Chains A and B, each alone.
Chain A
Amino acid sequence: MKIRSAIAALAATVALPVAASYATDLEVTHWWTSGGEAAAVAELAKAFDATGNKWVDGAIAGAGSTARPIMVSRITGGDPMGATQFNHGRQAEELVQEGLMRDLTDVAERGNWKDVIRPASLLDSCTIDGKIYCAPINIHSWQWLWLSNAAFEKAGVPVPKNWDELVAAAPALEKAGIVPLAVGGQAWQANGAFDVLMLALAGKDVFLQVFGEKNAEVAAGPEMAKVFKAADDARRISRGTNVQDWNQATNMVITGKAGGQIMGDWAQGEFQLAGLKAGEDYSCLPGLGVTEMIATGGDAFYFPLLEDEAKSKAQEALAETLVDPKAQVAFNLKKGSLPVRGDVDLGAANDCMKKGLDILAKGNVIQWTDQLLSADSQKQKEDLFSEFFASGLMSPEDAQKRFAEIIATAD
């Protein structure tokens, strides 16, 4: 009798916590690990926990290129997480086609995503065969040139208003011992910088012909030759950067060791963290001050298909939370990215974010290479441009020839 009651008591202590809370743990994997990013994720976790579920953080350190293979192998290997970050675009395309991802169409219809999410291309990137498979969370644009006002003051030249002025100011900067343009050593940075140069200098039409239609003739043509000439300039004025990570390169701009950097708006978080003020301490030029247009790449959450019903319910709750106006504002202010809906108030945004919102409101948006090209073609481009930027030997003409070959076989 004594033993039995003891067992009963024991059983009760085990059963009680389960019965008391209906919270479901949901593991969410992402690669947001820098200071500003972690603060932004905490906002999402808070909003999700408020729905009565529990956010189990599965941050994977390193860039997306480190994290994505881990995520993909967990999903294909039969150990799926509750939800995972990807860049919306084609990174999860095959997982969806294999039926490993969950269809979110009813959640989207309930939340009226079609009307609130802006620009519409964001939702298009989540849509495969008419069904919606991801919840967009932010818009990140690559097309920014960040400039250190202090560096130009030291060199005695005015802060450039566009790309050509930066190239023209380069000798003065170099004389003052400043690297005119910081380009980190990792391959994706050179690749991204080239895409930004291309959109700014060759324009939207050429950009879409080359990456959208994979037109190899245009890729080998005179318009692109101009871009490669500019890339040659960029290569010349970025000599002496000698850092690997993007935030180290951004730090060179922050400390005035470099004049500028072509980097996405995530660099803004670093400026904020360093206590710098947009417009006073640093300047930003969307579209390199030439073509004021931003791409609507960014992050989205995908939900692997799970058998556990409670977890599937929690997935729905998370998808709703991500698009929720309050969570959108809290997250994006910390992250420095733009919200995916047009009906939220971002009064606290700084000068540079306002410039971005303005361009977005005008509808000057374009699909980015992550959405237009497969991961395979992107990798080949990365190989090409990291070699081009590192080696002084490859001529712009040779690089263009290889670029055209990649486009010819791209998918």
Chain B
Amino acid sequence: MTGQVTGRATVRAHPGRPSRLTRNLSAKIASIPMMLTAVVVFLGGTLWTVLYSFTSSKLLPRLKFVGLDQYERLWAAPRWLVSIENLAIYGVFSLIFSMVIGFMLAALMDQKIRFENTFRTIFLYPFALSFIVTGLVWQWLLNPEHGIQSVVRAMGWTGFDFNPLYDSSIVIYGILIAALWQGTGLVMCLMLAGLRGIDEDIWKASRVDGIPMWKTYLFVVIPMMRPVFVTTLVIIASGIVRVYDLVVAQTSGGPGIASEVPAKYVYDYMFQAQNLGQGFAASTMMLITVAIIIVPWAYLEFSGGRKRV
């Protein structure tokens, strides 16, 4: 009994064993700048923003507290409500479509086709363009007098109507088209990398068992690609929440306020309306929205889920 206790004590006091603090010391020192950046810039900036969202700050930040006034005004503003609705529509559809189209393209590309490199380059190419350029290109393409509509009409179908950017009820889909054109190539590449990571033997086994190809994809390959899907999801989702430049380039929020998005509301009220308090309240709401989605997911992913890949 006693021997056991002393035995344990000697192990703990063993002089050659480094303490938890000094283990990997150089790595810890190297990460201090990044940790400081994270704490001071990200966390500090976030707290500062939240704090000032409860003030009546106009052009310059001032600590004059007004309680929840800014939030009340925010949720009464029709433009904010339209922005939230647009983000929801844009988010859901761009998530679904870029995943589905991206995976389909990757699966087709995986059939050992000829000129795969060429196709891959073509599909990935739009991703090399910034959102501003993408937005301008699609603004012209969707312009009723110069773009797709006029080309089709010139070919003889005079009744052809395709004018999303000037129709309030569907303008957000016009933006969605441009976003998908730009982003699907990247999703395809990520998926393709995932597909290439699947062992050839799995395919052989399923072929021996006579399982049709679509079933193999759906029930064997996709579940095995879970890490790739998670990565893709995070990349797409972060792009959705911050969508701003695409809207500015394509419609600048119009017609009217029909294609406004939250990030644009934040910018416009902070800088154009010279009302920092209102802009901060809006950005705090964006943060909360993201937190509501991310926190439960991160909890599931990182706390108990270690055993999964």
A and B are partners in one complex rather than unrelated chains? yes
Interface residues of A (CB under 8 A from B): 65, 68-69, 72-73, 76, 91, 93-95, 98, 185-187, 242, 244, 374-376, 378-380, 383, 386-391, 402, 409
**Given A375-B274, A402-B78, A94 and B256 contact (CB-CB distance below 8 Å):** no
A376 and B58 within 8 A (CB)? yes
Residue B217 at the A interface, CB < 8 A?
no
Check A376 against B257 for contact (C-beta < 8 Å): no
Nearest CB on A from B305, distance (A): 44
Contacts of B275 in A (CB 8 A): 375-376, 379
Q: In the bound complex, do residue B272 and residue A379 qualify as a contact, i.e. CB atoms below 8 Å apart?
A: yes
Cβ contact within 8 Å between A379 and B269 = yes
Q: Which of A91, A186, A387 has the most CB of B within 10 A?
A: A387
Contacts of A73 in B (CB 8 A): 271
Query: Once the chains are docked, how many angstroms separate the CA of A390 from the CA of B253?
Result: 11
Q: B144 at the A/B interface (Cβ < 8 Å)?
A: yes
Q: Restricting to B247-305, which residues have a CB under 8 Å from any CB of A?
A: 252-258, 268-269, 271-275, 278
- CB-CB under 8 A from A186, the residues of chain B are 252, 254
Q: A375 to B258, alpha carbons, bound, how many Å?
A: 22
How many Å lie between the Cα of A313 and that of B145 in the bound state? 53
How far, in angstroms, from A379 to B58 measured CA to CA in the complex?
13
B139 to chain A, nearest CB (A): 9
Q: Is B202 an interface residue (CB 8 A)?
A: no
- Is the pair B268, A379 in contact by a Cβ cutoff of 8 Å? yes
B181 within 8 A of A: no
Q: A185-B254, A390-B254 are in contact. Are A374 and B168 (CB under 8 A)?
A: no
Contacts of A76 in B (CB 8 A): 59-60
Residues of A with C-beta under 8 A to B143: 242
The answer to whether the Cβ of B203 comes within 8 Å of any Cβ in the partner chain is no
Partner of A187, one of B77, B78, B253, B271: B253
Tell yes or no: B127 within 8 A of A by CB.
no
**Chain B, 119-168, CB within 8 A of any chain A CB:** 143-145, 166, 168
Whether B166 contacts A242 by the Cβ 8 Å rule is yes
How far, in angstroms, from A242 to B254 measured CA to CA in the complex? 11
Nearest-neighbour CB distance to chain B for A249, whole angstroms, equals 13
B78 touches A94 (CB 8 A): no
- Of the candidates A95, A378, A391, A409, which one forms a contact with B273 in the assembled complex, judged by CB atoms under 8 Å apart? A378
Residues of B within 8 A of A93 (CB): 59
Say how far B51's CB is from chain A's closest CB, in angstroms.
18
* Residues in B whose Cβ lies below 8 Å from that of A375: 59, 272-275
Q: Given A94-B58, A98-B60: A244 and B254 within 8 A (CB)? A: yes
Q: Report chain B residues within 8 Å CB of A390.
A: 168, 254-258
Write the chain A residue with the least CB distance to B163.
A242
Report which residue of A65, A386, A402 has the largest number of chain B beta carbons within 10 angstroms of its beta carbon: A386
Give me 14 other A-B pairs in contact (C-beta within 8 A), A375-B273, A375-B275, A376-B275 excluded.
A68-B271, A68-B272, A187-B254, A242-B145, A244-B254, A375-B274, A379-B275, A386-B254, A387-B256, A388-B256, A390-B254, A390-B256, A390-B257, A391-B256
Chain B minimum-CB-distance residue to A242: B166
Bound Cα distance A387, B79 (Å): 9
Cα–Cα, bound, A376→B276 (Å): 10
B257 touches A386 (CB 8 A): yes
CB-CB under 8 A from A98, the residues of chain B are 60
Closest A-B pairs by Cβ, 4 of them: A390-B256, A69-B271, A379-B273, A390-B255
The answer to whether A387 and B59 have CB atoms under 8 Å apart is no
A188's closest neighbor in chain B, by CB? B272
- Once the chains are docked, how many angstroms separate the CA of A402 from the CA of B274? 21
Q: Do residues A185 and B255 form an inter-chain contact, with CB atoms below 8 A?
A: yes
By the criterion CB–CB under 8 Å, are A386 and B256 in contact? yes
Q: Which residue of B lies closest to A91 (CB)?
A: B274
Residues of A contacting B269 in the complex (Cβ-Cβ under 8 angstroms): 376, 379
By beta carbon, the residue of chain B nearest A95 is B59
Residues of A within 8 A of B73 (CB): 409
Residue numbers in A under 8 Å from B253 (CB-CB) = 187, 386
23 A-B pairs with C-beta separation under 8 A: A68-B271, A93-B59, A94-B58, A185-B252, A187-B253, A187-B254, A244-B254, A374-B58, A375-B59, A375-B274, A376-B58, A376-B275, A378-B273, A379-B272, A379-B273, A383-B78, A386-B253, A386-B256, A389-B256, A390-B254, A390-B256, A391-B255, A391-B256
Q: How far is the CA of A376 from the CA of B144 in the complex (A)?
A: 34
Q: Which chain B positions have C-beta within 8 A of A380?
A: 77, 273
- Docked pose: A379 CA to B253 CA in angstroms: 14
- Are the C-beta atoms of A383 and B257 separated by less than 8 Å? yes
Least CB distance, B219 to chain A, in whole angstroms: 47
Indicate if the CB atoms of B168 and A94 lie closer than 8 Å. Answer: no
Least distance between B233 CB and chain A CB atoms (Å): 33
For A402, list chain B residues within 8 Å (CB).
Answer: 78
**Distance between B46 CB and nearest chain A CB, rounded to angstroms:** 20
Question: Could you tell me the distance between the alpha carbons of A91 and B272 in the complex, rounded to whole angstroms?
Answer: 10
